[in-house]
Amino acid sequence: MQVFRFARHRNIVGLLGYCCEETHNILVYEYICNNSLEWHLFDQSANLLEWNKRHASAIGIAKGMRFLHEECRAGPIIHLDLQPSNVLLTHDFVPMLGDFGFAKWKACKVSSETMILGPSGYLAPEHAEHGIASVKTDVFAFGILLFQLISGRKVLEEHGRWCTHILQWAEPLVETLALNILVDDRVKDTHDSYGLYHLAKAAYLCVRTNPEQRPSMGEVVRLIEVENENIQDLSQLFIPHFTN
């Protein structure tokens, strides 16, 4: 509950009240009417989430995470459970972060139970292997979520008896600038190459194995919140490579 007292932001679901009496433990949140980002991306009954809404969602989520990490007056809050099912959309598709059940204040080492209960496929290497949680743990999860927004793919894709993690598929495509393959086929005709480039670059940097090499969420916001210059040919951009 201490975490929620300070988590007030346009892109964070608001806590209206709570009850903690004997066997009654109740949290009351504001109602967000438009389902989760996961539903909009993957449920077959959902309408297509257009490119401009995906880009706007990426920016809104990044701003919510930036607030938790850098602007909250109580110090950095680590979400520890960032994934599409925990991002809710309003009627006008403003993304709002929810489910702070795993949230921690500042860097820490989490219990093995929390590691097991954490989101499969979204855990940063240092978190999965050593239980180390920091703001850069959230940055890693945000990178995976970005790849999902770009591609419309689930974090784990089943192929018979095998599963492929989205990073195994996405990282080589970014390294070779094969972004036309990375982007969801359903939005290929409506996306802008400049915005796609910046989202892909941000995602790639966020999932670096070494947490110290990942950007802060403030840096991520600056990278993806760019003016659309309508550059349709990526060869017009000078791109040495992402790993610099």
Tokens found for residue 244: 């610099």
Q: Give the DSSP H or E segment for 223.
A: helix 217-224
112, 13, 97, 154 alpha-carbon torsion, rounded to 10°: 90
Sign of the C-alpha dihedral computed for residues 144, 32, 115 and 104 taken in this order: positive
Question: Looking at 81, 99, 138, 184, which residue is catalytic?
Answer: 81
Is residue 224 a contact partner of residue 198, using CB atoms and an 8 Å limit?
A: yes
Asked if 81 is an active-site residue, the reply is yes
3-state secondary structure of 2: coil
The widest CA-to-CA distance across the chain, in whole angstroms, is 64
- Catalytic positions: 81
